[in-house]
Amino acid sequence: MAVIPCSQILFRVPGTLGLCQNVQPLSHLAMLLPRYYSTDTKESSTEYRENPIGIQMLSKGLHQQIFKASSAHVEDSKMKTINQHLTEHELLGKEATVLSDVNFQLPKIYGDNIDEHFRHLAQKQTASVIDSSNKLIDSILPPMPEKWVYGKGWTKYGHDGSAVAVDYPDETALVFDVEVLMKEGQFPTMATAACPSAWYSWCSDRLLEDKYKWSPRISLDDLIPMETTRKLGRHTPDWKERVIVGHNVGFDRSFIKEQYYIKGPKTRFIDTMSLHIATSGFTGSQRVLWNAKKSGSQRKEIVEMMTKKKFGSGSPTWDWMKEGTMNNLSDVYQHHCEGEPLAKEKRETFIKGSMDDVRENFQELMTYCASDVVATHQVFQKLWPVFFERFPHPVTLAGMLEMGSTYFHVNYNWEKYILNSEDTYNDLQRELTLLLKKLANEACELLHGDRYKEDPWLWDLDWSTRDFRLKKPVKEKKSKKNNDLELESDKEETEEDRVNKVLHTAERLPKVKMHLPGYPQWYRDLCYKMREEDWAPGPSKISTQVRVAPKLLRLTWDGYPVHYSETHGWGYLVPWREDNIGENDDSEGAQFPTGSLQSICPQPPPNPSSLSLQERDKLMAEIIKMERFGEDSQKLWAKWHAIMKREEKKPKTTKGENGPWWHTGDGPYNDVNIPGCWFFKIPHKDGDNKRVGNPLAKDSLSKIEDGTIKSQSGDHAVRVLTLSKMCSYWKMNRDRISKQMVVWLNKTDLPRTVTRNPDYDADGLYGTIIPRVVSAGTVTRRAVEQTWLTASNAYPDRVGSELKAMVQCPPGYHFVGADVDSQELWIAAVLGDSNFGGIHGCTALGWMTLQGKKSAGTDLHSKTAAMVGISRDHAKVFNYGRIYGAGQLFARRLLMQFNHRLTNEEAVSKASVMYRATKGLKKTVKVQQNGNNDAGSGGDNTGLGENNGTEQDEDDEIPPRPVTSRKWVGGSESEMFNKLESIALSSEPRTPVLGGRISKALEPKVVDEEFMTSRVNWVVQSSAVDYLHLMLVCMKWLFDEYKIDGRFCISIHDEVRYLVNSEDRYRAALALQITNLLTRCMFAYKLDFQDLPQSVAFFSGVDIDTCLRKEVNLDCKTPSNPQGLASGYGIPAGEVLDIYEILNRTNNGSLSATRQKVKLDQFETEPEGPNIDDMPSVAASV
Closest among 992, 710, 1037 to 830, alpha carbons compared: 992
Query: Are 384 and 275 a contacting pair, CB within 8 Å?
Result: yes
- The neighbour count for residue 1052, using CB atoms within 10 Å, is 20
Helix (H, G, I), strand (E, B) or coil at 1180: coil
Give Cβ neighbours of residue 435 (< 8 Å, ≥ 6 apart): 716, 717, 719, 720, 723
Whether 372 sits among the annotated catalytic residues: the reply is no
Query: Are 523 and 539 a contacting pair, CB within 8 Å?
Result: yes
DSSP 974-1041: HHHHHHHHHHHTSSS-B-TTT-PBPPGGGSHHHHTT--HHHHHHHHHHHHHHHHHHHHHHHHHHHHHH
Question: How far from 1055 is each of 260, 296, 823, 884, 905, CA to CA, in Å?
Answer: 23, 42, 10, 19, 40
Backbone φ and ψ for 832, nearest 5 degrees, come out as: -65, -40
Residues 351, 744, 736, CA angle at the centre, nearest 5°? 45
Question: How far from 710 is each of 453, 605, 634, 721, CA to CA, in Å?
Answer: 22, 22, 16, 9
SS3 sequence of 247-285? CCHHHHHCCEHHHHCCCCCEEEEEEHHHHHHHHHCCCHH
Backbone φ and ψ for 898, nearest 5 degrees, come out as: -70, -35
DSSP 651-719: ---SS-SS--TT--SB---TTS--TTEEEEEPPPTT-TTS--S-TTSGGGHHHHHTTSEEESS-HHHHH
Question: How far from 230 is each of 168, 172, 241, 299, 438, CA to CA, in Å?
Answer: 9, 20, 20, 54, 59
Give Cβ neighbours of residue 383 (< 8 Å, ≥ 6 apart): 272, 275, 276, 279, 336
Q: At what angle do helices 1065-1086 and 1012-1041 cross, to 10 degrees?
A: 140
Closest among 945, 949, 971, 818 to 883, alpha carbons compared: 971
Burial class (CB in 10 A: 0-12, 13-18, 19+), 46: exposed
Q: At what angle do helices 872-883 and 904-918 cross, to 10 degrees?
A: 70
Helix (H, G, I), strand (E, B) or coil at 726: helix
Q: Among the options 76, 115, 160, 177, which is catalytic?
A: 177
The answer to whether the Cα torsion of 446, 451, 452, 455 is positive or negative is negative
Query: Are 998 and 1019 a contacting pair, CB within 8 Å?
Result: no
Query: Are 1117 and 824 a contacting pair, CB within 8 Å?
Result: no
Give Cβ neighbours of residue 8 (< 8 Å, ≥ 6 apart): 19, 20, 23, 25, 100
C-alpha Rg value of the chain to the nearest Å? 35
Distance CA 171, CA 167 (A): 12
Distance CA 753, CA 390 (A): 43
Running DSSP on this structure, what letter comes out for residue 508?
Answer: G
Running DSSP on this structure, what letter comes out for residue 441?
Answer: H
Lay out the sheet containing 560-565: strands in order across.
Answer: 677-681, 569-575, 560-565, 555-557, 709-711
Query: Are 325 and 334 a contacting pair, CB within 8 Å?
Result: yes
Backbone φ and ψ for 111, nearest 5 degrees, come out as: 75, -170
Running DSSP on this structure, what letter comes out for residue 812?
Answer: T
SS3 sequence of 571-607? EEEEECCCCCCCCCCCCCHHHCCHHHHHHHCCCCCCC
Residues acting as catalytic residues: 177
